[in-house]
Structures are given as C-alpha cells and as structure tokens.
Amino acid sequence: MYLYNSLTHKKELFKPNCPDVVKMYTCGPTVYHYAHIGNLRTYIMEDVLEKALRYTGYNVKRVMNITDVGHLASDADTGEDKMVKGAKRENKTVMQIAQFYTDAFFEDCRKLNIKRPEVVEPATNCIDNYIGMVSRLIENGKAYIAGGNVYFDTSKLGQYYVFNDHDEEDLAVGVREGVEEDKNKKNRNDFVLWFTKSKFEDQALKWDSPWGVGYPGWHIECSCISIKHLGADLDIHCGGIDNAFPHHTNEIAQSESFLGHKWCNYWFHVHHLNTDTGKMSKSKGEFLTVSLLEEKGFDPMVYRLFCLQSHYRRNLVFSWENLENAKIAYEKLVSKIATLQDDGVVDEAAFNALKERFTNALNADLNTSLAVTAVYDVLKAKTNDGTKLAALKDFDSVMCLNLLQAAQSLRQKQKQVEESSADPEIDALVLARTEAKKAKNFAKADAIRDELKARGIEIIDTPQGTKWRKV
Ligand SMILES: [Zn+2]
C-alpha cells in the first residue's frame, strides 16, 4: 500500500517495522463536549485505513488516548483547560464530564461503524508514565524547570519543525490567541510537560510529582500512552491535520528525546471539514453532531459515504445540500443492490477482477473515492448477481456502509408494501403528498406524512414511485 507520509512529504510504500503486526496510534478526543462531524471525519478515515490494512493482509494493533486532562483552549499552553471549562458549563465534576462525553463519542463511532481500537486509555490513567518520561527528559538535559513548571527545551533539538507543510497561520498559534507570552519559556516554541504553577485555581485534577503538585501538559500523554502499549517503534501515527502543529511536532520532540532514536515512521493526517464560512469548529455557527444529522433525517451511513466520496488529504466542504446529494447517492446504490438476486454462484475470475480494482484504489494512498467507484463498477459489471453480491460484501468489510443490510431491509419493506391490502383513502393521501412535493409545498407534504404516520402508515419513496406500508 502506498501512503502519503507527512514526515517526508511523499507517497511511500508502506512497510511496518515488524511484518506480523502494524502498530497504529490515534489521537483520541478531548472529552469536554460532543464530537462535531469534522472531528468524526478524521476518525472515519482512520477507521478505513485500519480496515484497509487488515483487508490487504496485515494485523493491526491500534491504540487511542482519551484526553481528560491538560488540553488547554489554545492547543499551546494558554487558555483555560477544556475539561474544567466543560465541567463549569454543566455544573458537574471533570470526571463526570469525561465519562459522559467518552460514552457519547463511542456512541457516535458505533453509529458511524467506526471500530473501537483494541486499547483505549484515558490520559488520567498514566500519570506515573508522564512523571517517568519528564524525569528522564530533565536528566538528559532536554527539559528544564522554570517558575514551577517543567518545559521542553526545543533549542536542544537538531530539527524542531518536522512537518514543514503546516501553514504559517498554524505556526503563530501561541500568538494568535492573544494571551500573554509565558515569560518562563527560554524559546518561543518550548512547551509545558508538567504544570505546577497553574493560574487556574479551579483545576480539579492534580497529582504529586517530584516538581510539586500539578498536572501533565497535553502533548506528553500521546507519547507515553503510545510507548506504553506499542513500544519504542511506532508504524503509523494518525490525527487531524490541525494536530500536526504544535501537538504532533511536540510529540516527536519529546518521544525521540526520551527514546534516543526515531520513533514513528508514517504520519497520516486527515484534512479539514469546512463549511462555506470556513473551518468547522465548536465555537462558530451551527454545532454539527451526528445526532443533529439524524434529527434532520440523515442516516449516519450517508455521512460516512459523504466522507468516503472524497480523498482524506483534501479539505471537504460540508453543506446540507452536499449531504442531501450523498443521501440520494446512498439510496440509489441501496435500491440497485436490492434488485440483485443471490444465485449462490460466484465466478472467481470476475470476482478477482472486481476485487483487484477495489484493492488498487485502497493501495493508492487510500483513494476512497475510487473505492466508491469500484462499488458502482460491481453493479455495472457483466457478471451474475451472486458474484456481484459477493464482491459488495467483500468491499463493505472496509467501506462499512451497511450496503447489504440496507438493501435487505429495503427489500423487506417493498415486500410488505406488496402485501398491504389496497386502501383507497390511504392511496389518495399518498398521492396528495406526492403532488404537494412536486409543487414544492413541503409543509403540506410533511403534514400529510405526519398524519399517515399517526395512522400507522409509513411512506417509502422507491424508484418505482411512492409506496406505503402498515407498520
Ligand atoms: Zn495526540
């Protein structure tokens, strides 16, 4: 498999350190609020990467942290701790907030068919590991104590900016926030490994350390959790592109200074989900969550397809209209699959040709939009339905779009429609709704749908027109 490596700025043939198992680390969520769908795009693409690696024959051991301490509002060392902010907002304790939003995150993942990594470790579980790493960094002269905090000394590195394709704006992160410079830092990019002089009196979680009672900086957790579970050599580190600097840059600085050798070979960064007003974030505009998509009538699988239709290294523009297009595409795909009749016969040669196209798409730097095209190719292929269904099932072990399940349930519904006895009154209402829709009188169409729903009738839009069934 060829993958783009942010560290070398090239597509490279992927080769794990040990042929038996790929060691993969994923930066997990900061659990102070619901995940927005921009964050979830990153987790969807990382999930596809893991499944594609498994599909092409690797075992994968994947580890994810859960940030429940130390992540300050600016991503650098300024602003309020996000967890403390969340706890205040909801008048709960930090641990209550952490538990609630960790559960909410994995519920979103479940809905989006994102596999839970083998190891999920909350940052607050590994305090001794951080103390161990920070102690070593002080001993070998890579860290210093100033004003009560422990800082990493970036001037001791041969090279600090390892991902030179992050943009200028990201580099100015500490300055951009408009928060006062930390006078304790010897160099502008030095970062906190351990806080003791917190100006936030209400920081809830504090631990004893050789440098006084305090709490860890944000970056140290990923280095320690990765090394704890995956050892000193990591194959792939993943995350959103906005984490390349400062978070991943700092992870590399401290991990390699601690280990004394190169730490991670491949860096996989997923680009932004934007809205038409710019980068999606929790602070601006509509807060887009999986639940909101569902409230608006979008199956989470439609969002997964929307993400797969575009390459992970391109910014993706979200709008309700774009999502509506993905919904139409998904429903068309499912209704076509629903017409396939399983004859139980698989033509090996035809199957392998289809599979090769799909595998080539994955191997070309995880080109999921080509992989989606390979799904359409199956439907167009001149082969029997049994072969097509076998190929679709095979592909969906990576895509995880529930294509066959959705087709099955559509067939079920269509059967029930056929079995429902004709009812002229219902037929008339269904017709009135179709006409209201044609006339773009959506309020009337929705009112009729609601009335039918109250009478236990579900409307199903099919390629053969609108049908109904008793539920
Ligand atoms: Zn991280």
- Residue range 373-385, pLDDT digits in tens: 999 999 999 999 9
How far apart are the CA of 71 and the centre of ligand 1, in A? Answer: 10
For the chain, domain boundaries: 2-270, 294-410, 420-470
Pull the structure tokens for residue 231: 């050892």
Spatial distance between the Cα atoms of 327 and 322, rounded to a whole number of angstroms: 9
What is the distance between the terminal CA atoms of the chain, rounded to a whole angstrom?
47
Tokens 């001794």: give the residue: 128
| Rounded distance between C-alpha atoms, residue 86 and residue 68, angstroms | 11
Ligand 1 centroid, distance to 67 Cα (angstroms): 8
When the pLDDT of each residue in the chain is averaged and rounded to a whole number, the result is 90
Interval between CA 240 and ligand 1 midpoint (Å): 10
Which DSSP state fits 277? T
Of 229, 247, 212, residue with least CA distance to 71 = 247
pLDDT at position 368 over 60: yes
Query: Pick from 103, 107, 137, 149: which is nearest to 122 by CA?
Result: 103
DSSP string computed for 122-173 = EGGG-HHHHHHHHHHHHHTTSEEEETTEEEE-GGGSS-S---TTS-HHHHTH
Ligand 1 centroid to residue 26 C-alpha, Å: 7
Under the banding of pLDDT at 50, 70 and 90, the label for residue 176 is very low
pLDDT band at 175 (very low <50, low <70, confident <90, very high): very low
pLDDT of residue 421: 62
SS3 313: coil
Q: Please give the distance, rounded to the nearest whole angstrom, from the Cα atom of residue 270 to the centre of ligand 1.
A: 14
Per the omega criterion (within 30 degrees of 0), is the bond before 246 cis?
A: yes
Distance from residue 239's CA to the centre of ligand 1 (Å): 7
- Where residue 199 falls among pLDDT bands split at 50, 70, 90? low
Rg, C-alpha atoms of the chain: 26
**Structure confidence at residue 40 (pLDDT):** 97
Range in 288-302, 356-370, 379-393, 440-454 with the lowest mean pLDDT: 440-454
Count of CB atoms situated within 10 Å of the CB of 282? 16
Q: According to the model, what pLDDT value does residue 86 have?
A: 85
Ligand 1 centre to CA of 169 (Å) is: 20
Centre of ligand 1 to C-alpha 179, Å, is: 23
pLDDT at 37 over 80: yes
High-pLDDT (> 70) share of the chain, %:
91
* Top-confidence residue, 114 or 76: 114
Q: What is the pLDDT of residue 174?
A: 47
Q: Are 26 and 64 in contact (CB under 8 A)?
A: yes
- Mind listing the pLDDT tens digit for each residue in 59-105? 999 999 999 887 776 666 666 788 888 888 899 888 899 999 999 99
Tokens representing residue 317 in the block: 């523009």
- Annotate 31-87 with DSSP letters as a single string: TTSPPPHHHHHHHHHHHHHHHHHHHTT-EEEEEEEEB-S--BTTSSS-S-BHHHHHH
How far is 351 from 378, CA to CA, in rounded Å? 9
Q: Which CATH number fits domain 2-270: 3.40.640.10, 3.40.50.720, 3.40.50.620, 3.40.50.2300?
A: 3.40.50.620
Distance of CA 76 from the midpoint of ligand 1 (Å)? 13
**Closest listed residue to residue 237, CA positions, set 50, 58, 112:** 50
